[in-house]
Structure 1
Amino acid sequence: MPNRAENTPRRTADPALFSITEPSCTIQRQGIRMTSQVSTAFTRSGRARRLSRPAYVTVALLVGAFSLTSCSDAPDNDVKDSAAASPTTTAPRAEVDISAENGSTGASINATRVISRNATLTKVTMSRVDTGSAVEGAMSSDRKSWKPSAQLERGTRYEITAEGKGSEGNTVVEHSAFTTVSNGNSFIGTFTPDNGTTVGVGMPVSFTFDKAITDKKAVQSHITVTSSSGQEVSGHWFGEQRLDIRPKDYWEPGSTVTMKLDLDGVEGASGIYGVQSKTVTFTVGRSQVSSVDMNTQTMTVTRDGKVFKELPISGGSPQNPTYNGQMVISEKFEKTHMDSSTVGFGGEYNFTDVPHAMRLSTSGTFVHGNYWGNPSVFGSAGTSHGCIGLRDVQGGGSDTPAKWFYDHSLVGDVITVKNSPDAEKSIKPDNGLNGWNMDWETWTAGSAV
């Protein structure tokens, strides 16, 4: 039987046709890459005929907007696209910025800065407009920033001119004239203790603001107080202008307390802004708590848990008893003026040279040297208008009980008084730095945060 294949007509290529392959193109659009290649046949007469060769599409997860990524006649890498040449680079723009905008009012007294970008500061001058006096400043080591050396004054107009040089040698100059926040639109808080001091274990952190604070939470949340002892602290507001902060119990002796104020720009009341930004650190010294017993007219000084000294005193008279309670030494004076008319006692006394005086209350309670009383009253009778008197001599003696106690006391030491004739007369927590007379639950209830 003849082979079937031998009877099959044999197909031959059409010599009248030739073909070329058109350039392949890859198009990337919306995450899809499409590649197509089309072959076109031409007759010898030049007429084209599309061959039945299917195009193909490849889908890939590519990201990008519509772009033509390649288009070539063939995968011949010898042909280079002139568009692939390296682009021309341009040096970054040199800039000098002054934080206080030209013509602005209400500028911060702490945050004024000059900063350069892609440039080196070559010269910065600042002055007060009203006096023409120069304001000293500090340049960073890399000459990229500058700031005033001290806090600016409130309600004052200043001018700054800053020059910088870019990498290509071009000079940039900026100028700003501005006015700092006014006294009327700002608040400050005076505080105790001061930075770097050593205080007694009873010393609270106390702020007195020069404006009424209506947003207490905003203000208190920008004041932090921490101790190296890890003691928990809480604040308590006495009215709208005073905030005290203390731990539950006395500070641990030898601990370090750090207070951070971040009040610059904080709105304490409508249209009234803080201007302070600083960190204060103080050290707690040894523990000293002195106990005064009005029945015996004696003061027992206890240091670090042990009796250190007993001193005879003369406290308040039955008519003018000394406050009962815990009182903190807030100030010390080697000599001070005491005038009875300033504390509601008319003209009963006026001593211009009271020695070795230490304040215990805002209302005028002191522990101080007494040179005018009969020496026999010390340790036996209360004769004062409410102060705690220690024997002394006029001008202040060198070896008297008053001198000894003055030399061995710190601001922040605690003096407790008991058995005063008027049992109901106890010192109020806000009369001096005497918040220790308030229990912890009541104290923390007065916090705004």
Structure 2
Amino acid sequence: MLVALGAVPAVGILAGCSGSADASEGTGAKAGATAGASTKAEVKTPTVTVTPADGTKKAGFTSPVEVTVSDGTLASVEVSGNDGSTLAGSFNDARTKWTSTKNPYSGTKYTVTATPKGAAAQSASFVTKQPSDTFVGYFTPEANSTSGVGMPVSINFTEAVKDRAAVEKAITVTTEPAVEVVGHWFSDTRLDFRPEEYWAAGTKITLSLRLKDVEGTDGVYGTQSKDVTFHIGRRQVSTVDLAKKTMTVERDGSTLATYPVSGGDADHTTWSGIMVISERFKQTRMESSTVGLGDEYDISDVPHAQRLTTSGTFIHGNYWASTSVFGSTNTSHGCVGLHDAKGANDGSVPGYKFYASSMLGDVVIVKNSGEKTVEPSNGLNGWNLSWADWKAGSAL
């Protein structure tokens, strides 16, 4: 017999068989015979109880499923969801209780089939409720994309995360070939992953998100359960020396090219440090008011622009400055410029060539700029943290 949680199973007790009949009465012998027959006929049927109770329509999903049996032991328990998932579990030593090792998913109908030893299987079903408040994580790079060796796995959450440990535990980043990868929280909404050194060329990266029903903050639950794969391409690291006003591009250990450049002037120095290309535009508009510089410039067709910081540092082509400034004078408002042609279609100029040789995730190192090192959170620039400092930002 299967009962809902809290129901009281029937007990085989007959009225008048209390065993307290007066032996001096003439009916005593018959009464005793009747009691003996009742005891002999009583058969106890195993009673299975499922939590959440059978028929529940809005069951909770933050506690495990439990199955108990009275008047018997459990031979087997199976729990399956209408989404194709199953819940594994374990028995207590007496095999009178089974508990799922994980909680059920939200918004899912589950069927529980419990078989007591020596008795027929008994079934129950329940439906877990949907959480009212949810969050997701948007990740970079894109699934199935190929990036440069500096590209971290960066996740931005739609809600502030209070329980960082629970959320980080639900996310894993694995690689082929294997390397240690550690998470670092830049804020309550941003978690990045990277190894100690740049990724090796050709690395396969798998991001596993198991955020569904993880409580990121009070009453706010994740919804994602998915795996995505990225790849790392060739190794390209470019070094900008603003004392020499040159940029040397190295590809897989060899020098690919050296270009004359122009960096930020004395009033608008360029960030120094390790930066990663996070966006690329064949042409884009750059307007000084968007970076707090008033109306100093507004150029609608800046060629071959590649973003290095969130705050607005780019390495880009420049067709409006004299070719003589490249390699000789730092004249920009903080970006790194290469000689280019209007229209972004002249394949002979440095701006075009560097853009054509680059990809998202490539590393650009700036030195001798006269400016401090860029903040690691300003763009995808966590490489400016030591490995010890990076690991200190993990919640695990």
Instruction: State TM-score, norm by structure 1.
Output: 0.61
Cα pair 2:154 2:192 within 8 Å, conserved: yes
Cα pair 1:207 1:244 within 8 Å, conserved: yes
Alignment match, 1:344: 292
Q: Tell me which of 334, 338, 350 is aligned to 2:282.
A: 334
Q: Tell me which of 407, 410, 416 is aligned to 2:359.
A: 410
- Alignment of structure 1 residues 237-386 onto 2, 5 Å: 237-386=185-334
Closer/same/farther in 2, CA of residues 410 and 114 from structure 1, 3 Å limit: closer
Alignment match, 2:394: 447
Alignment match, 2:376: 429
Instruction: Give, in whole Å, the separation in 1 of the partners of 2:321 and 2:60.
Output: 57
Cα pair 1:392 1:402 within 8 Å, conserved: yes
- Displacement of 1:421 in angstroms is 2.4
Percent identity, aligned pairs only, is: 51
Q: Which moved more, 1:318-327 or 1:391-400?
A: 391-400
Instruction: Give, in whole Å, the separation in 2 of the partners of 1:246 and 1:295.
Output: 30
Instruction: Give, in whole Å, the separation in 2 of the partners of 1:359 and 1:245.
Output: 20
**Is the partner of 2:187 in helix, strand or coil?**
coil
**Is the partner of 1:393 in helix, strand or coil?**
coil
Cα pair 2:59 2:127 within 8 Å, conserved: no
Structure 1 unaligned segments of length 5 or more: list them. 1-65, 68-100, 117-153, 161-175
Alignment match, 2:149: 201
Instruction: Give, in whole Å, the separation in 2 of the partners of 1:115 and 1:194.
Output: 27
Cα pair 2:131 2:220 within 8 Å, conserved: no
Deviations 1:287-344 (A, max 9, x none): 1000000011110000111111001111111111111100000111111121111111
Give, as a single letter, the amino acid of the residue that structure 2 aligns with 1:205: V
Alignment match, 2:82: 113
Alignment match, 1:213: 161
Structure 2 unaligned segments of length 5 or more: list them. 1-38, 41-54, 62-79, 86-105, 110-125
Give, as a single letter, the amino acid of the residue that structure 1 aligns with 2:391: T
Structure scoring higher RCO (CA < 8 A, sep ≥ 6) equals 2
Instruction: Give, in whole Å, the separation in 1 of the partners of 2:157 and 2:323.
Output: 44
Q: Which moved more, 1:357-366 or 1:397-406?
A: 397-406
**Is the partner of 2:391 in helix, strand or coil?**
helix
Cα pair 2:173 2:181 within 8 Å, conserved: yes
**Is the partner of 1:367 in helix, strand or coil?**
strand
Q: Tell me which of 135, 139, 142 is aligned to 1:191.
A: 139
Question: Which structure 1 residue ranges, 4+ long, deviate > 6 Å from structure 2?
Answer: 176-179
Cα pair 2:147 2:231 within 8 Å, conserved: yes
Give, as a single letter, the amino acid of the residue that structure 1 aligns with 2:322: N
Cα pair 2:291 2:312 within 8 Å, conserved: yes
Give, as a single letter, the amino acid of the residue that structure 2 aligns with 1:254: G
Aligned residues: 291
Alignment match, 1:390: 338
Instruction: Give, in whole Å, the separation in 1 of the partners of 2:177 and 2:212.
Output: 28
Instruction: Give, in whole Å, the separation in 2 of the partners of 1:401 and 1:114.
Output: 54
Instruction: Give, in whole Å, the separation in 2 of the partners of 1:323 and 1:286.
Output: 26
Closer/same/farther in 2, CA of residues 271 and 306 from structure 1, 3 Å limit: same
Closer/same/farther in 2, CA of residues 315 and 272 from structure 1, 3 Å limit: same
Give, as a single letter, the amino acid of the residue that structure 2 aligns with 1:230: A
Deviations 1:391-431 (A, max 9, x none): 11222133121111111101111000110123xx2101000
Structure number, greater radius of gyration: 1
Give, as a single letter, the amino acid of the residue that structure 2 aligns with 1:435: G
Deviations 1:125-180 (A, max 9, x none): xxxxxxxxxxxxxxxxxxxxxxxxxxxxx9xxx9x9xxxxxxxxxxxxxxx99985
Instruction: Give, in whole Å, the separation in 1 of the partners of 2:189 and 2:128.
Output: 30
- Displacement of 1:115 in angstroms is 6.5
RMSD in angstroms over aligned alpha carbons? 2.9
Instruction: Give, in whole Å, the separation in 2 of the partners of 1:106 and 1:405.
Output: 56
Instruction: State TM-score, norm by structure 2.
Output: 0.69
